[in-house]
Amino acid sequence: MKNIAVIGAGTMGNGIAHTFAQSGYKVQLIDISESSLKKGIATITKNLDRMVAKEKISEAQKNETLANITTFTSMEEGVEYASLVVEAATENVDLKLKIFKDLDSFCPDDTILATNTSSISITKIASVTSRPQQVIGMHFMNPVPIMKLVEIIKGYNTSPEIYDTVAEISKKLGKVPVEVNDYPGFVANRILMPMINEAIETLYNGVAGVEEIDTVMKLGMAHPMGPLQLADFIGLDVCLSILEVMYDGFKNPKYAPCPLLVNMVMAGKLGVKSKEGFYDYAETHKAEKVSKMFS
């Protein structure tokens, strides 16, 4: 299994492509936007340059990693020879269902179809394909090249053989695969998002300010980032989408998004990617400082 297709060249997609390519896999990075592909490759190059500067890899390894990545704007062409596809598009149910319908028709019969979804049902995604036994969740953490965890989520019909194959691939990437069953939010976000949402509620209720809330969690709970800064890093729109999936899936009011979060997303204040969230990232170096925290 040497040909890996990655759908989406955004933060998660380019990170996944980087990780596979650095491990020696041939990667087809696919996005409908040529500019997104160029930006994704630029991000990978910058991250590799940082690794070279820190002497974690050589210049030759950097060049080999980049040579392992080919970009496509056509999904049909990009997945033609893929043994494994990892979808990393926007966290939107309808979009993912459309992508998996297309993948099912474009990919070879034995291709494994994985999704990097952080909350959406694997069983639901698999239901639009003719190969539900070959559909699985492969939830990487951001930043992908640095973080060790991969949640491997089995849908209702995912075969044990497919799980074993994906878990083994994850280990070859230097990751630690953890088996998780198919419930909204899985494990990571089922625990993380209510904490972030409660931090936003604490701010919304005037209990303390942004920096004060984050300082309590960093110094008192030994978190490397406070929950509000972490929400900015993840993207407030992504946090909102995950909470909505969990609220819809469990029908439990504890997952209802805080009105402040909803309003900030509607106002376009999405965190680092929009240069403003709970913190102001208008100065480029401030945004870069956040992105480097785990490197």
Give the C-alpha separation, 279 to 246, whole Å: 26
User: Which residue is catalytic, options 83, 87, 116, 151?
Assistant: 151
The residue with tokens 């598009």 is 89
Q: Is 26 annotated as a binding residue?
A: no
Residue 271 marked as a ligand binder: no
**Catalytic status, residue 201:** no
* Residue 11 labelled as part of a binding site: yes
Of residues 139, 170, 244, 276, which has the active-site annotation?
Answer: 139
User: Is 10 annotated in some ligand binding site?
Assistant: yes
Residue listed under structure tokens 């990075």: 29
Sign of CA dihedral 114, 115, 119, 120: negative
In angstroms, the CA 199 to CA 218 distance is 13
Q: Annotated catalytic, 118?
A: yes
> Of the listed 36, 83, 189, 241, which one is catalytic?
189
Phi-psi group of 271: left, alpha or beta (phi > 0 → left; psi -120 to 50 → alpha; rest → beta):
left
Angstrom distance (rounded) from CA 12 to CA 144: 7
Alpha-carbon distances of 191 from 38, 118, 259, rounded to whole Å: 35, 12, 20
C-alpha–C-alpha distance, residues 181 and 288, integer Å? 35
Q: Is 142 annotated as a binding residue?
A: yes
- Residue 3 is assigned to a ligand binding site: no
Tokens 């930006």 belong to residue: 39
Q: Is 9 annotated as a binding residue?
A: yes
Are the CB atoms for 53 and 30 separated by under 8 Å? Answer: no
Residue 78, annotated ligand binder?
no
Annotated binding-site residue? 8:
yes
User: Are the beta carbons of 120 and 100 closer than 8 angstroms?
Assistant: no
237 is in an annotated binding site: no
The Cα-based distances of 39 to 8, 71, 86, 231 in angstroms read: 12, 12, 19, 23
Percent helix, percent strand, percent coil in the chain, to nearest 5:
50, 15, 35
Name the active-site residue from 14, 83, 118, 119. Answer: 118
- Catalytic status, residue 285: no
Residue 96's identity, in one-letter code, is K
In contact, 117 and 90? CB cutoff 8 Å? no
127 is catalytic: no
Q: Annotated binding residues, as ranges?
A: 8-13, 31, 91, 96, 118, 142, 273
Q: Annotated binding residues for NAD(+), as ranges?
A: 8-13, 31, 91, 96, 118, 142, 273
Tell me the catalytic residues: 118, 139, 151, 189
